[in-house]
C-alpha cells in the first residue's frame, strides 16, 4: 500500500483500501458515524443524510456511506456544521410521521429514537405531518404502519438486493411517497413471500411482526441464539424470550450461513413451540386409535417388529427415512443403524426427494 493512501478522520490518519468508503474506514477504526438508511449488504444510497461528514475543501457536507475515501482527505465527523445538519435531518424525520414512541413496537430498538436521544432532540421544531395512508393489517405476519415510515429505503434494498424477491419499490411522489408493491396492493396480494427481511432491516417501527405486537418491550426479552430446525441449511436465529415464552424470532446478523435472513417458516412459524397440540410422548396405535406410551415401551415395540420383519422377509424389506430437521450426528446414527444393525442400504433422506 502506497504511503499516500491515507485519510485523516477527526485528526487521526488511517490507511484505506481501494474502493473503501469513508464510513467503512471510520467504522473499521472504531469511529462511529451514525447512519439510518445504510444497509451493509446492499448498495449505499446516501438517502437519509444522517451520515454526512465535513471534508476539508468540499463546499457541501458529503454522505460518508456512499463516498469513496481518497488520498489526503481531511474529515470531521462531529463538527459543529455536521451536528447542526444532523439535528435538522432528525427533526425533519421526526416530523415526517407519527412518532409517538410510548406504544410503538420499535420503542427501545429504534434508530430514529436513538439518534434523537444522542443529539438531544426532545421535540421537533416542525409540525407533524398527518398520516397519508392507513396501516396495512391484512395479513397475519406483517403490519405496515406508513405513519412511522421514514422512507429510508432499507426495506426496498433488502427485498430487491438481499433476498432478490423484487416485491416492493418506491411509489408516488413528494409527500405522497410510499413503499409499494406492484399495483400498490397489500403484501398478501402481491409477490411478497413473507420472508420478513424488510421487517428485520426497518430501522423504525414502520414494519412490525404482527404475532409479536404488544407481547414484550425490547428490553424485557432475553435473546437466545439457536439454529433453525425447519431444514438443513442451519440458519442462525435469535429467539426473543419473555417469561419463558418465545415472543419473536429474528435472524442473527453477521453470522453464517444466513447473515440475518430467514424464510417465512423460520421467522414466523414458531407458534408450535407453545401449542397445546404438541406431541410430548410417543403414541402407539391400537385398534385404530392412538394411546400415549413411555419411550421404553415404544422402542421395545419397534425393536420387536423390526426383528420380526427382518426374520420373515429379510433386511431389505425394511427402509429407513431420515430427516433434514435433525442434526448431522443423528443422521449419521440413522444410516449406521440401517446398515450395521438392520443390515440394509435402504436409507434415504427427505431433503433428497
Ligand atoms: S418509530 Fe421510533 S421514533 Fe417513531 S414512534 Fe416508534 S420508537 Fe418512536
Ligand atoms: S417480506 Fe420479504 S418478500 Fe415480502 S416485501 Fe418484505 S423482504 Fe420482500
Ligand atoms: S418501511 Fe421501514 S425500512 Fe422501509 S422505507 Fe419505511 S422506514 Fe425505511
Q: How confident is the model at residue 122 (pLDDT cuts 50, 70, 90)?
A: confident
Separation of CA 212 and ligand 2 centre (Å):
17
Q: What is the CATH number of the domain that holds 176?
A: 3.30.70.20
C-alpha grid cell, residue 175 = 409527500
Q: Residue 73: name the closest of 30, 24, 11 by CA.
A: 11
Ligand 3 and 207: CB distance under 6 A: yes
The binding-site residues of ligand 1, defined as CB within 6 angstroms of any ligand atom, are 99-101, 104, 106-107, 110, 112-113, 148, 204-205
Separation of CA 256 and ligand 2 centre (Å):
21
Ligand 3 and 48: CB distance under 6 A: no
Q: What number is the average pLDDT over the span 291-306?
A: 97
Within-domain flag for 86 = no
Whole-number pLDDT of residue 19: 92
Please, is 279 exposed, middle or buried when counting C-beta atoms within 10 Å of its C-beta (0-12, 13-18, 19+)? Answer: exposed
Within-domain flag for 107 = no
pLDDT in tens, 239-294: 999 999 999 999 999 999 999 999 999 999 999 999 999 999 999 999 999 999 99
| Predicted model pTM | 0.88
Range name among 18-27, 110-119, 162-171, 319-328 with the lowest pLDDT average: 319-328
Domain boundary among 233, 257, 274: 274
Domain boundary among 274, 291, 311: 274
Q: How confident is the model at residue 325 (pLDDT cuts 50, 70, 90)?
A: confident
Domain span at 26: 6-78
Q: Residue 28: name the closest of 64, 74, 54 by CA.
A: 64
C-alpha grid cell, residue 203 = 430501522
Q: Are residues 257 and 308 in the same domain?
A: no
Q: What is the CATH number of the domain that holds 58?
A: 3.10.20.740
Q: How confident is the model at residue 220 (pLDDT cuts 50, 70, 90)?
A: very high
Q: What percent of the chain has pLDDT over 90?
A: 90
pLDDT in tens, 53-78: 999 999 999 999 999 999 999 999 99
Place of cell 429510508: 152
Its sign, for the CA torsion 209, 116, 83, 96, is positive
C-alpha grid cell, residue 114 = 436513538
Q: Are residues 327 and 248 in the same domain?
A: no
Closest ligand 2 atom to 158 CA: 7
Q: Are residues 156 and 232 in the same domain?
A: yes
pLDDT of 232 above 90: no
Q: Are residues 44 and 184 in the same domain?
A: no
Whole-number pLDDT of residue 327: 84
Beta carbons of 238 and 249 less than 8 angstroms apart: yes
Q: What number is the average pLDDT over the span 97-120?
A: 95
Q: Are residues 261 and 314 in the same domain?
A: no
Q: Mean pLDDT over all residues of the chain?
A: 95
Separation of CA 158 and ligand 2 centre (Å):
8
Domain count along the chain:
3
Range name among 107-111, 125-129, 168-172 with the lowest pLDDT average: 125-129
Q: Are residues 52 and 133 in the same domain?
A: no
Within-domain flag for 55 = yes
Q: Are residues 162 and 240 in the same domain?
A: yes
Within-domain flag for 87 = no
Q: Whose Cα sits closest to atom 2 in ligand 2?
A: 195
Q: Which of 104, 132, 149 most suits a substitution to test ligand 3, by most atoms within 8 Å of the C-beta?
A: 149
Within-domain flag for 170 = yes
C-alpha grid cell, residue 316 = 431389505
pLDDT of 21 above 70: yes
Q: Are residues 262 and 128 in the same domain?
A: yes
Separation of CA 74 and ligand 2 centre (Å):
40
Which 3 state secondary structure label does DSSP give 136?
Answer: strand
Q: What is the DSSP string of 161-191?
A: IIS----EEEES-GGG-EEEEGGG--GGGSS
| Count of positions (residues) in the chain | 353
Separation of CA 194 and ligand 3 centre (Å):
16
Q: Are residues 127 and 12 in the same domain?
A: no
Q: Are residues 238 and 291 in the same domain?
A: no
Domain boundary among 59, 78, 97: 78
Q: Are residues 330 and 253 in the same domain?
A: no
Within-domain flag for 104 = no
Within-domain flag for 318 = yes
Whole-number pLDDT of residue 231: 86
Q: Are residues 133 and 259 in the same domain?
A: yes
Within-domain flag for 10 = yes
Amino acid at each position: 500500500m502506497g504511503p499516500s493512501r491515507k485519510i485523516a478522520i477527526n485528526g487521526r490518519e488511517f490507511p484505506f483500501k481501494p474502493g473503501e468508503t469513508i464510513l467503512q474506514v471510520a467504522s473499521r477504526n472504531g469511529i462511529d458515524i451514525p447512519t439510518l438508511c445504510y444497509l451493509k449488504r446492499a448498495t449505499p444510497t446516501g438517502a437519509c443524510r444522517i451520515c454526512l461528514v465535513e471534508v476539508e475543501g468540499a463546499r457541501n457536507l458529503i454522505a460518508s456511506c456512499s463516498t469513496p475515501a481518497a488520498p489526503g482527505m481531511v474529515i470531521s465527523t462531529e463538527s459543529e456544521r455536521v451536528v447542526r445538519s444532523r439535528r435538522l435531518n432528525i427533526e425533519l424525520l421526526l416530523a415526517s410521521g407519527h412518532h409517538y414512541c410510548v406504544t410503538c413496537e420499535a420503542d427501545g430498538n429504534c434508530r430514529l429514537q436513538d439518534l434523537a436521544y444522542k443529539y438531544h432532540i426532545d421535540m421537533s421544531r416542525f409540525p407533524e405531518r398527518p398520516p397519508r395512508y392507513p396501516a396495512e393489517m391484512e395479513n397475519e405476519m406483517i403490519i405496515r404502519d406508513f405513519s412511522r415510515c421514514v422512507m429510508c429505503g432499507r426495506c426496498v434494498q433488502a427485498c430487491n438486493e438481499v433476498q432478490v424477491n423484487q416485491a416492493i419499490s418506491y411509489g408516488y411522489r413528494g409527500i405522497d411517497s410510499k413503499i409499494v408493491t406492484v399495483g400498490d396492493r397489500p403484501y398478501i396480494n402481491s409477490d411478497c413471500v413473507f420472508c420478513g427481511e424488510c421487517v428485520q432491516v426497518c430501522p423504525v417501527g414502520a414494519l412490525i411482526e404482527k404475532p409479536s405486537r404488544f407481547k414484550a418491550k425490547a428490553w424485557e426479552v432475553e435473546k437466545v441464539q439457536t439454529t433453525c430446525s425447519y431444514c438443513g441449511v442451519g440458519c442462525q436465529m435469535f429467539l426473543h424470550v419473555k417469561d419463558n415464552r418465545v415472543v419473536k424470532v429474528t435472524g442473527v446478523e453477521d453470522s453464517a450461513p444466513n447473515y440475518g435472513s430467514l424464510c417465512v417458516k423460520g421467522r414466523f412459524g414458531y407458534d408450535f413451540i407453545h401449542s397445546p397440540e404438541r406431541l410430548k410422548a410417543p403414541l402407539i396405535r391400537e385398534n385404530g386409535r392412538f394411546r400415549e406410551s413411555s419411550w421404553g415401551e415404544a422402542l421395545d415395540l419397534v425393536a420387536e417388529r423390526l426383528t420380526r420383519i427382518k426374520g420373515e422377509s429379510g433386511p431389505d424389506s425394511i427402509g429407513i427415512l431420515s430427516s433434514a430437521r435433525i442434526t448431522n450426528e443423528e443422521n449419521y446414527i440413522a444410516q449406521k443403524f440401517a446398515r450395521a444393525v438392520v443390515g440394509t442400504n435402504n436409507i434415504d433422506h427427505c431433503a433428497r426427494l
